[in-house]
Structures are given as structure tokens and as C-alpha cells.
Amino acid sequence: MRSKDYGHDVLSGDWRRPRKGQIPEVAAEPGLVAEDPESGFCGAVVACEKDAVTLEDRFGKRRVFPLAKAGFLIDGKPVTLVRPVRAAGPARSASGSIAVPNLRARVARESRIYVEGRHDAELVEKIWGHDLRVEGVVVEYLEGVDHLPDIVAEFGPGPESRLGVLVDHLVAGSKESRIADQVSSPYVLVTGHPFIDIWEAVKPSVLGIPAWPRVPRGIPWKEGVIAALGWKGEPGEVWQAILGRVRAYTDLEPALLGRVEELIDFVTVPQSG
């Protein structure tokens, strides 16, 4: 018997194949958690292109699925993911901030942000370059942290010329932390991330690796990483390949994101007058 009120068995047939009016369409907005029932992969939407959606699970692993694929699950219910319709509104920069159209860079402040090396500067420029031009902040690099106290003294920080410094491997007991402790000024902020090198601030999943390898003491870190992962090329060439995979702030570890934002806020404190 079939009830005219309930119709045919809702579990019959292939529910993964959408039928008009039966499986709702849901916009694949960033952060939406969906599951692919065929593979069991469950993760949050981190990107949605014309023909594909990328999910990232809680371990940082990413998988790309065809956007036309039917039968994703949200809260256990089948849906079809569709590309979000972007209403007219402000565009976003790579850092996630509101992009300023037709930007002309502000005249540079006296305040500066220093990072350790060229790779650090290139990564900061790629993600925060727009924000820095809006604020008129120049990023320079130290070529190592050993001479930081001398560089700070030469810079002569003050109320209108603040100095922010981003240091690699700033953890308790490290050489970097001992050098940073030698700097004491209300107009200088030395902060940093826990990574041995800025390369580690890029999420492994972005590069298709399970994790950054541990390099034994006595082996140059970059060269050790390249050898352990079986990559080819000199460190400079490998870094450019890594940098090319970074698209937005979501590709970087939170431990770096917070520190850079903190430095930008520090050196852009409204000036008196």
C-alpha cells in the first residue's frame, strides 16, 4: 500500500543523484562543513572555484571535489553544493581585509617592520602587501637576527617612528629569544613565530605533504628539508615554488598570522597631531 500523503519510499533509488525539488542546493561558503559520503572525507570549505570545491579536515588535509558532484552531506542530510553568488560588495585582499580599489600607496611612514630574510619579506608582501601600502608601511629584512640590538640602536625608534620586528624560532631558551631580550624600548615590538624557518609557516597540506620533516642538528635546515622530501633544486628555487602555492592567509599557520597582524597594528598607531 502507498499513502497518498507520504508518497513513495524516500529511501528507494540513488539519493546521491539529485532530482529537481528533492535535494536542496547549498552555497559552498568558506567554513561550511560538508562530507563526501563515498570517501567519508569530511571538512570545511576553504575554496570554491568554477568547477571544484576544496575541503580541509581537522588535521589540515585538503581534498578537491568536482562542484557538479551530487550528494554531499551536511548534518547527515544530502545536498548539492553550488558556487556562492557574490553580491556586489567590497573585494578582499589576500590577508582577508577589505581591498581598496585603485589604490595609490600612501607616503611611507617613518615606522618600519623588519623581518629576518628575503623569504620572510616575500611572504609578508604576498599576503599583506595591499594592507601595508594602504598604511604606508615599508618592510625590510635583517639578513639574520644576530645584530638586532645594533640595528635597533641605529634606527632610533620613537613615538613617530616605531619599529616592529618579526623573528623566526622565537621560543624560550633559543638564541633568537636571548637576542630579542636585549631590546628594550616602548617603541619597539619584537615578536615571532615558533617555526625554525618561515617555510614552516606554510601549511603542509597546501604543498601536498603530510608534515614538515624534522632535520637533524648539524644539517642546514632548508637543504635537509629538500633532501627529506625528495624535492629538486636549490633553496631559492624551491622557495619560489612554495610561495607560488600560497594564495591567501588561509594557507598559512595561525601562529604567523597573529604575529604579523600584531606588528602592523603596532607600527600604525595613530600619530599625534
Tell me if 11 is assigned to some domain: no
Same domain, 159 and 251: yes
Distance CA(26)–CA(82), nearest Å, equals 6
Name the residue type at position 191: T
Question: What residues make up the domain containing 37?
Answer: 25-82
Residues 122 and 54 in one domain: no
pLDDT at 50: 77
* Per-residue model confidence as pLDDT tens for the chain (273 residues): 333 443 434 333 443 444 445 788 888 888 888 899 888 888 888 888 878 888 888 777 888 888 876 678 888 888 888 888 765 556 777 777 766 665 555 566 889 999 988 999 999 999 998 888 888 889 998 877 888 899 899 999 999 899 999 998 888 888 888 998 898 889 999 999 999 999 999 999 999 999 999 999 999 999 999 999 999 999 999 999 999 989 899 999 999 999 999 999 999 986 554
Q: Which of 256, 249, 145 is nearest to 201 (CA)?
A: 256
Q: What pLDDT is recorded for position 16? A: 45
The overall average pLDDT reported for the chain is: 83
Q: Is residue 153 located within the same domain as residue 77?
A: no
Both 58 and 136 in one domain: the answer is: no
Domains in the chain, number: 2
Amino acid code (one letter) for 177:
S
- Residue 251 confidence (pLDDT): 92
Q: Can you tell me the distance from the alpha carbon of 242 to that of 202, in angstroms, rounded to the nearest whole number?
A: 8
> Phi and psi dihedrals of 80, rounded to 5?
-110, 125
Q: Which pLDDT does position 5 carry in this prediction?
A: 42
Same domain? For 169 and 61 the reply is: no
Q: What's the pLDDT score for residue 11?
A: 37
Q: Is 76 within the bounds of a domain?
A: yes
* 166 grid coordinates: 618579526
Q: Quote the CA–CA distance of 120 and 126 in Å, as a whole number.
A: 10
Q: Do 146 and 255 belong together in one domain?
A: yes
How far apart CA 80 and CA 198 sit, in angstroms, is 39
Same domain? For 78 and 116 the reply is no
